[in-house]
């Protein structure tokens, strides 16, 4: 019998929905939430009822009854945990509700759980952005109070790795891969035999700069800026995430627009885009070392990987390290569905959320 799986993926401006029967996509819908519509909400949690109702309405309109074998949602900003499939339980929901960072994906498990309860099936999340499999050496920074944190495009990075491994007749768990997710944020992850042993924190001030994020910046100058009195805490955070990177230099996050500018002779556009790609290439070099310089392939993925100017530039910097493979775009919905299917047919272990941080801090 075919397994029916509902996939829910809320982003800042949309909620993506899909229904799969086994591995076949049978329905897909993106619900857009305009800036005006969400402007009245002061905190992402306030959008729960609004988003939930939109999901129910879309399913009803499409004539899809609430009968599923599983509901799977994008994992939000939980505490650090290893990758894989997790059952949505009260602990997951509470940590998402109380997450220190706001992100639309924090609502996903809540909506999934509500629908799963009505459907009488399990709700899962898989490979959340907080997936943390760092090797011990990678956790320690030069300031003891500032340990490194793993936040990256875990879902798509792992999915494209598995896809690439299958294509060449190997197992993901037998390979050393560097995955470069080139989206609004950029993460460069080192996958050593199936474990992501190092990666830049792609959400908060580490690694390459990206269309909307600052990446690593000169630390001392940042401290001076913080105390200059010119900016509020919120403004400085936005400088790192949201208003940093390409948009800070060029006023746009849109790479095709920048490429058109370069073709039209805009020297500054070229200087900034080339600089961004240079920071990506340097991060690839660092991850090559994290894999003991034994990288089997470097995979370029995400929206920017559609663009030849960018992929050619990266090839130019790093192709002597390992073969460069291009798998543009992302398929988070398909990756989530495959995780749910694997959980249902027993190929993947369903884990319970039990962050290491909680084990280390005994409850009073």
Ligand X SMILES: Nc1ncnc2c1ncn2[C@@H]1O[C@H](COP(=O)(O)OP(=O)(O)OP(=O)(O)O)[C@@H](O)[C@H]1O
Going by the DSSP 8-state scheme, the letter that residue 9 receives in this structure is E
Please say which residue, 231 or 278, places its beta carbon nearer to ligand X. Answer: 278
Residue closer to ligand CCCC(=O)O by CB (options 59, 159) is 159
Q: Does residue 331 belong to the site contacting ligand X (CB under 6 A)?
A: no
Asked if 203 touches ligand CCCC(=O)O (CB under 6 A), the answer is yes
Q: Whose Cβ is closer to ligand CCCC(=O)O: residue 133's or residue 296's? A: 133
Site string for ligand CCCC(=O)O, 19-48 (x = CB under 6 A): ------------------------------
CA 210 to chain centre: 14
Member of 20, 152, 209, 353 binding ligand CCCC(=O)O (CB under 6 A): 152
Q: Which is nearer to ligand X, 116 or 255 (CB)?
A: 255
Q: How many residues bind ligand X (CB under 6 A)?
A: 15
Residues 197-226 that bind ligand X (CB under 6 A): 211
CB-wise, 131 or 176, nearer to ligand X? 131
List the single partner that 256 binds among ligand CCCC(=O)O, ligand X, none, CB under 5 to 8 Å by kind: ligand X
Strands (E), 95-239: 123-126, 176-182, 186-192, 195-199
CA–CA separation, 131 vs 194, rounded Å?
Answer: 13
278 binds ligand X (CB under 6 A): no
HSE-up (13 A, CA, CB side) for residue 235: 9
Q: Sign (positive/negative) of CA torsion 215, 220, 222, 223?
A: positive
- Find which of ligand CCCC(=O)O, ligand X, none residue 304 binds, CB within 5 to 8 Å per kind: ligand X
Residues 108-147 that bind ligand CCCC(=O)O (CB under 6 A): 129
The rounded distance, in Å, linking the Cα atoms of 221 and 300 is 32
Q: Pull the structure tokens for residue 105.
A: 């994906």
Closest by alpha carbon to 90, among 69, 109, 66, 64?
109
The piece of 20-28, 84-92, 137-145, 183-191 that touches ligand X (CB under 6 A) is: 183-191
Quick one: which of 51, 39, 42 has its CA closest to 76? 51
Q: Name the 3-class secondary structure at 174.
A: helix
Closest residue to ligand X in the complex (CB): 183
CA end-to-end distance (rounded Å), the chain: 48
- Within residues 291-330, the interface with ligand X by CB under 6 A covers 302-304, 306-307, 330
Q: Which does 203 bind (CB under 5 to 8 A by kind): ligand CCCC(=O)O, ligand X, none?
A: ligand CCCC(=O)O
Q: Which residues contact 282 (CB under 8 A, 6 or more apart)?
A: 208
If one counts every other C-beta atom within 10 angstroms of the C-beta of residue 98, the result is: 9
Q: Which stretch binds ligand CCCC(=O)O (CB under 6 A): 148-156, 311-319, 321-329, 352-360?
A: 148-156
φ, ψ of residue 80 to 5 degrees: the values are -60, 135
The residues near 120 (Cβ < 8 Å, ≥ 6 apart) are: none
- Residue 255 contacts which entry, ligand CCCC(=O)O, ligand X, none (Cβ below 5-8 A, type-dependent): ligand X
Residues 6+ apart with CB under 8 A from 206: 148, 200, 215, 216
Site of interaction with ligand X (CB under 6 A):
153, 183-185, 211, 253-256, 302-304, 306-307, 330
């Amino acid at each position: 019998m075919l397994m029916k799986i509902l996939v829910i993926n809320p982003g800042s401006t949309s909620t993506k929905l899909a229904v799969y029967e086994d591995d076949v996509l049978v329905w897909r819908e993106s619900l857009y939430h305009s800036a005006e519509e969400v402007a009245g909400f002061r905190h992402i949690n306030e959008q729960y009822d609004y988003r939930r109702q939109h999901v129910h309405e879309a399913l009803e309109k499409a004539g899809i009854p609430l009968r599923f074998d599983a509901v799977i949602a994008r994992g939000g900003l939980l505490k650090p945990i290893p990758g894989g499939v997790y059952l949505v339980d009260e602990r997951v929901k509470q940590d998402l509700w109380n997450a220190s960072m706001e992100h639309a994906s924090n609502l996903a498990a809540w909506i999934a759980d509500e629908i799963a309860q009505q459907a009488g099936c399990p709700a899962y999340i898989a490979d959340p952005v907080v997936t943390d499999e760092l090797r011990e050496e990678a956790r320690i920074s030069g300031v003891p109070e500032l340990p490194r944190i793993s936040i990256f495009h875990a879902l798509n990075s792992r999915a494209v790795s598995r896809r690439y491994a299958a294509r060449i007749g190997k197992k993901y768990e037998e390979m050393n891969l560097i995955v470069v997710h080139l989206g609004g944020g950029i993460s460069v992850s080192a996958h050593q035999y199936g474990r992501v042993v190092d990666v830049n924190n792609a959400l908060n001030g580490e690694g390459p700069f990206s269309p909307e994020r600052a990446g690593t910046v000169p630390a001392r100058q940042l401290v001076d800026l913080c105390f200059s009195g010119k900016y509020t805490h919120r403004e400085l955070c936005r400088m790192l995430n949201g208003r940093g990177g390409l948009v800070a230099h060029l006023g746009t996050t849109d790479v095709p627009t920048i490429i058109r500018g370069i073709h039209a002779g805009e020297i500054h556009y070229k200087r900034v885009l080339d600089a961004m790609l240079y920071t990506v290439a340097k991060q690839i070099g660092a991850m090559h070392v994290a894999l003991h310089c034994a990288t089997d392939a470097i995979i370029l993925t995400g929206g920017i990987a559609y663009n030849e100017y960018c992929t050619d530039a990266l090839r130019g910097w790093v192709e002597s390290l390992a073969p460069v493979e291009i798998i543009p775009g992302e398929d988070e919905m398909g990756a989530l569905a495959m995780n749910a299917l694997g959980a249902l047919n027993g190929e993947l272990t369903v884990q319970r959320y039990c962050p290491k941080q909680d084990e280390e801090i005994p409850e009073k």
